[in-house]
Amino acid sequence: MKLMFASDIHGVAKACEEMLDIFEKSGAERLVLLGDLLYHGPRNGVPEGYDPARVAELLSRHGERILAVRGNCDAEIDQMLLPFPMMGDYCTMFEHGRMFFITHGHVYNEQQMPPCVPGTVLIHGHTHLLTAHNAPFGVVLNPGSVALPKGGNPRSYMLYEDGLFRILPMEGAGELGRMAI
């Protein structure tokens, strides 16, 4: 199974278009969105290219291939614009005998995990900081943000295939992080 993970679009249409282009070219079966899809949030200034209605339209075209969780900037009104569910605080998947705990990161995160089995893979967004490291419960991965990266990071996303996670820049080549499970 090949998956693409992306987070924190925050209503930026150009970033969403670029992300969807990468998704189509990647060959991934599913696009897993880690929240903060349409709204820019009160802590962020209005980003250049902010067009949440356009982002909703773009994402809706791929609705049957999207899995999504709610971010702290997502609201019920956003769900009314999208054909795929996105209001859950988390979802889980199982691959290679491991549980993937997929969330935005504002409710559940490395410091606030629900009970989980050893080897759990926590995948979240929220911080806009890419990361791939081991933790006492398993592995922590954050693909960064496709629209509003922080900490000097480039805009980025993550691909998963055959037990390997790779964090990649939206522009250019090379890997920004990798983790095998």
pTM, two decimals, is: 0.96
133: its two tokens:
């490291």
Residue 33 falls inside a structural domain: yes
Number of structural domains in the chain: 1
Does any domain span residue 117? no
User: CA torsion 135→142→67→83, rounded to 10°?
Assistant: 140
Q: Name the residue range of residue 77's domain.
A: 2-89+143-180
Give the residue with greater pLDDT, 43 vs 88.
Answer: 88
Instruction: Work out the number of other CB atoms within 10 angstroms of the CB of residue 40.
Output: 19
pLDDT greater at residue 169 or residue 114: 169
Hey, which residues does 120 pair with through a beta bridge?
138
Residue 6 pLDDT > 80: yes
Q: Is 26 exposed, middle or buried (0-12, 13-18, 19+ CB in 10 A)?
A: middle
Q: Provide the sign of the torsion angle of the four alpha carbons 164, 165, 166, 170, taken in this order.
A: positive
Residue 124 lies in a domain: no
pLDDT band at 121 (very low <50, low <70, confident <90, very high): very high
Whether residue 127 is contained in a domain is answered as no
Give residue 69's Cα distance to chain centre.
9
Question: Which CATH number does the domain housing residue 28 bear?
Answer: 3.60.21.10
Report the relative pairing of strands 131-135 and 120-123 from DSSP bridges.
unpaired
By percentage, how much of the chain surpasses pLDDT 90? 92
